[in-house]
C-alpha cells in the first residue's frame, strides 16, 4: 500500500526565476532559506512520487475550458513553456505516475467529484519554480493536480477541503508501494495585472497563516472565502494550501518561513504539515 509521508507548501512567482540574479541579497537569502528547509525535509522522507497541487496559468486551459480540478494521469508531462524559466530549469519532459494519477481520478469519481484528467499536461512556472529552487535530484515522478485559482467560477474553499480529504484517501488506498509527498504551490497574496500590482497584503497573509494554525474547517472555510473578496487576485492560489491542509487532517501546520517580498510581487511563504499516525 502507498504511504503519505509528507505535506508541504511553497510560493511561486515568475519574478523569482526571471529576476533571480537581480534580486537583493536579502530576498535571495530568504527564498533560499525557505526552499532549502523544505528540500532537506522532502529529501529526508525519500518520496517515490510528488503530488503537486498548482494552478494553470493559461497554458493548458483557457476561458473555453476551465475545469475546477484536473489530474495528470500520464507517464510523462512537458516541462515549462516560459522562456524565462527554460534556461534555469532544463527539463523538457518530467516523469509522471500514471497508475497513481488514475487511482486519484477513480477515487474522486467514487466520492462524487467530477474531475478532468489529462494524459499529458504542460507544467508551467507554478509547478516548476518550486521544483527548480528545491533542487531535488533526481526529481521523483510527478502527479500534477491543477486547481482553478485563476478565473471565476472557482471551487469554493469548502470544496477544496473536501478535495484534500479525498486526495489523502486516494493515496492511502493505492494498492502499490509508494512513498508519496504532497507539495502545494502558489500564494500567498499578490496582485497580477490589476490595480495594486506589486503590493503585498500582509494582513491577508497573516490571516491565512493563523487560520491554518488554529481554525477548525468551518471557520477556515467561512473566513477565508470572505477574505478572498478583499485581496489581490493572486491570493486565490491559497486554495492549493487548503487542499494540502485538508490532506493533513486539518492539523499539524508549521510555518517554515514568510517574507513579504515586493521584489517578487508575492507574499512568499513556506510550510509543512506534520503528519501523525
Active site residues: 125, 190
What does residue 221 show for φ and ψ, rounded to 5 degrees?
-65, -45
Other CB atoms within a 10 A radius of the CB of residue 263 amount to: 19
Q: Taking the C-alpha atoms of 82, 87, 88 and 92 in order, what is their torsion angle to the nearest 10 degrees? A: 70
- φ, ψ of residue 155 in degrees (nearest 5): -60, 140
Dihedral sign (CA 242, 243, 249, 252): negative
Residue partners of 4: CB distance under 8 A and separation at least 6: 168, 171, 172, 180, 181, 182, 247, 275
Measure Cα distances from 102 to 108, 145, 180, 269 in Å. Answer: 10, 12, 15, 31
Of 237, 35, 82, whose CA–CA distance to 149 is shortest? 237
Q: Which residues contact 70 (CB under 8 A, 6 or more apart)?
A: 56, 60, 61, 115, 116, 117, 118, 121, 145, 146
CB distance 256 to 270 below 8 Å: yes
Amino acid at each position: 500500500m502507498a504511504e503519505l509521508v509528507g505535506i508541504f507548501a511553497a510560493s511561486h512567482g515568475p519574478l523569482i526565476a526571471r529576476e533571480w540574479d537581480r534580486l537583493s541579497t536579502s530576498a535571495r537569502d530568504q527564498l533560499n532559506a525557505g526552499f532549502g528547509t523544505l528540500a532537506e525535509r522532502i529529501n529526508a522522507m525519500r518520496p517515490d512520487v510528488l503530488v503537486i497541487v498548482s494552478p494553470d496559468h493559461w497554458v493548458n486551459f483557457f476561458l473555453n475550458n476551465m475545469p475546477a480540478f484536473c489530474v495528470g494521469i500520464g507517464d510523462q508531462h512537458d516541462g515549462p513553456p516560459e522562456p524565462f524559466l527554460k534556461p534555469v530549469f532544463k527539463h523538457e519532459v518530467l516523469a509522471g505516475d500514471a497508475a497513481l494519477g488514475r487511482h486519484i481520478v477513480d477515487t474522486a469519481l467514487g466520492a462524487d467529484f467530477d474531475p478532468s484528467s489529462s494524459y499529458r499536461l504542460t507544467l508551467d512556472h507554478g509547478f516548476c519554480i518550486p521544483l527548480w529552487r528545491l533542487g531535488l535530484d533526481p526529481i521523483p515522478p510527478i502527479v500534477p493536480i491543477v486547481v482553478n485559482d485563476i478565473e471565476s467560477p472557482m471551487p469554493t474553499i469548502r470544496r477544496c477541503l473536501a478535495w484534500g480529504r479525498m486526495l489523502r484517501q486516494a493515496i492511502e488506498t493505492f494498492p502499490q508501494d509508494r512513498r508519496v509527498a504532497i507539495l502545494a504551490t502558489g500564494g500567498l497574496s499578490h496582485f497580477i495585472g490589476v490595480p495594486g500590482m506589486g503590493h503585498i497584503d500582509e494582513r491577508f497573509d497573516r490571516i491565512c497563516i493563523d487560520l491554518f494554525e488554529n481554525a477548525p474547517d468551518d471557520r477556515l472555510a467561512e473566513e477565508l472565502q470572505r477574505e478572498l473578496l478583499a485581496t489581490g487576485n493572486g491570493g486565490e492560489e491559497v486554495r492549493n494550501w487548503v487542499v494540502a491542509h485538508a490532506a493533513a487532517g486539518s492539523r499539524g501546520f508549521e510555518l517554515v518561513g514568510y517574507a513579504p517580498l515586493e521584489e517578487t510581487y508575492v507574499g512568499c511563504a513556506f510550510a509543512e504539515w506534520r503528519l501523525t499516525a
